[in-house]
Amino acid sequence: MKARPEAFSLWRRPWSCAISGAGVLIACEMQDGMMDHIMRRPSRPEAKIPGFTAPDDEEPSSRTRICEAEGCQAEAHYPAPRSRDALRDYIWFCLEHVRAYNKSWNYYEGLQGAALEAEIRRATTWERPSWKFATGKPVEEIFDDPMGVFDFDNTGNGDPRFRHLSPEERQAWKTLRMEPVSDLDAVKSQYKQLAKEHHPDINGGDAGAEERLKEINLAYDLIRKSLQTAAAPTIS
């Protein structure tokens, strides 16, 4: 019985098979070159990211942000606010330049007097958006305690009017890290300095810094009212 070759598609692939005269399948082999053809089949297209459709003529690399620092060509992964009045309008930097930008950032730049105090108070009640971008800790300072109110081992001259402070007043002076003085301007200056150091924006949004700032605000209010009352003329 003489076998005759026949070519047909088996599993949708061309094969060359030998069929007996009775129609019995004897053997099959893939036609020459088909393995190379199969190996060169185009791969499936990559899955697209849901919600994002890139233009057909745009390469993926062209969608990468470049650092906006002058002369820098590094990839930009870190946003920074453009200004105090545009906290959601971001400038994009690489890690090196966002660190430099953070060090020079001063949210309170240009604010003075009542405007500065109002902005500090707003920050403790979440009345404006905040941005987390700093990691530094406030610098501790040492203050004289001539009257021994805070158990500091310092010497100096103090105001006799403050020798009989209430526990609340003693704690308030300790919170402001000041020796008791009668100069309200000096107290206000120290309050502003501490408020800047403990502001959440400068402490990476740390919850402890927010609580500390609230304590500073309460201490300042207590001392301010106490000094204003002491300075008020008495009616005999």
What integer pLDDT is reported at residue 143 of this predicted model?
A: 45
DSSP for 44-89, please give it.
Answer: PPPPPPTT----TT--GGGGS-B--STT--SB--EEEEEETTEEEE
68 and 164 part of one domain: no
Does residue 189 sit in the same domain as residue 132? yes
Same-domain check for residues 171 and 214 = yes
In the chain, the number of structural domains is 3
Q: Which domain holds residue 166?
A: 113-231
Domain shared by 96 and 132, yes or no: no
Neighbours of 32 (CB within 10 A): 8
* Blockwise average pLDDT, block size 10, the chain, 236 residues: 47 53 54 48 41 36 75 89 75 88 66 62 50 43 45 44 76 89 89 84 74 90 86 60
202, 188, 201, 208: which is closest to 117 by C-alpha? 188
**H/E element, 5:** strand 4-10
User: Same structural domain for residues 163 and 82?
Assistant: no
83/182 same-domain check? no
**Smallest Cα–Cα separation from 170: which of 210, 213, 226?**
226
pLDDT computed for residue 99 by the predictor: 86
The answer on 99 and 119 residing in a single domain is no
Q: What residues form DSSP beta bridges with 10? A: 13
